[in-house]
Structure 1
């Protein structure tokens, strides 16, 4: 179902672009494809943001590691500045990606729908996407994903964090980079006077 939603997500342009000059689709089939394009249009923002997640995740991960080298008194301000830059990047670029998806979807996804789905299958797909059950499911899908993600993170974060630190140390060792002093030995307690 995620694949269908992702594919349909790319479908929000006018029908004339969705059909090639050699298409033999009937007017009814063209109309159903156009309707599918429209039904999924609200998912473009989510697609745009998800396309940026991996590279931004990698950047944030690297920045987090580098942030440990920043003096403690400047760390919080530096982290907030980085977070603001990343938010601005997403806010500035997500609309561009969404607009580009609108422009290229008809010639890609619309064409594939035309080629691979019969009129009857498109009718069934539209019936499902327009059904009250699907609409209800769509409304809570974000909540479902968040609940699963939160629980998954809570249960796996400690293990993954430990394993990731071990990986970082291994990579650092291969590169000849010594781990930060704080992580390689316990901090010395100040002497009492």
Structure 2
């Protein structure tokens, strides 16, 4: 009789554990839905990064090796290629990021947060104050980036030109004309990072 009672208790405990796990997974899924714009932002930055690096190289070549009268047609062709790249790669990266989120971010949330903590996190993410702050994220980053670029441009651009001269020398390319335009310091791409839970 005692053994049957023990088995029943174990069964009830297992059922309760399963219910708890299912409830927790639902909470994790809700967090991921609330964080989907941030997840898509990460995918966008990763997708755009190779093109941004290539564009820096293109600007240097255009300004140092392409005659001014030929720059506009070439630039238009390159912009068309970049648009095609973005149209192909951005949706792919976004979809893959959303698909991988449960097994990466979701798994970490499930492992490190209790159900109560997940409920608190959801309340934080859904709060009007947090939403207002998140909506300002890109604007605040752009404001700082623009100000930073304007502030350091005078001191950074000579260093960029010196670096271009050094690299051109290593590659055996014609030296950069001192008066030639140099690729300006560009603001970093903005993206919303996943919101962090408030520290206890």
Structure with max Cα Rg: 2
1:44-77 Cα offsets, whole Å, 9 max, x none, are: 4322220033322220011111112122111122
* Highest RCO, 1 vs 2 (Cα 8 Å, sep ≥ 6): 2
Contact preservation (8 Å) 1:49, 1:90: no
Shift of 1:24: 8.8
Distance 2:19 2:109 in 1: 13
Q: Which residue of 1 aligns with 2:73?
A: 77
Name stretches of at least 5 consecutive residues in structure 2 with no aligned partner.
Answer: 1-17, 181-200
8 Å CA contact 1:25–1:114 kept in 2: the answer is no
Equivalence for 1:28: 23
Residues 40 and 97 in structure 2, CA contact (< 8 A), matched pair in contact too: no
> In angstroms, what is the RMSD of aligned CA positions?
2.1
Change (3 A) 1:134 1:172: same
CA contact (8 A) 1:44 1:101 kept: yes
Correspondence for 1:159 among 155, 162, 172:
155
Question: What TM-score comes out, normalization by structure 2 length?
Answer: 0.73
Q: Greater CA deviation, 131-140 or 166-175?
A: 166-175
Residues 33 and 113 in structure 1, CA contact (< 8 A), matched pair in contact too: yes
Going from structure 1 to structure 2, the CA distance change for 1:25 and 1:113 (only over 3 Å counts) comes to farther
Q: How does 1:66-145 map to 2 (within 5 A)?
A: 66-68=61-63, 69-145=65-141
Unaligned runs of 5+ in 1: 1-22, 186-193
Report the secondary structure of 1:26's partner residue: helix
Aligned to 1:62: 57
> Is the 1:45–1:94 Cα contact (8 Å) retained in structure 2?
no
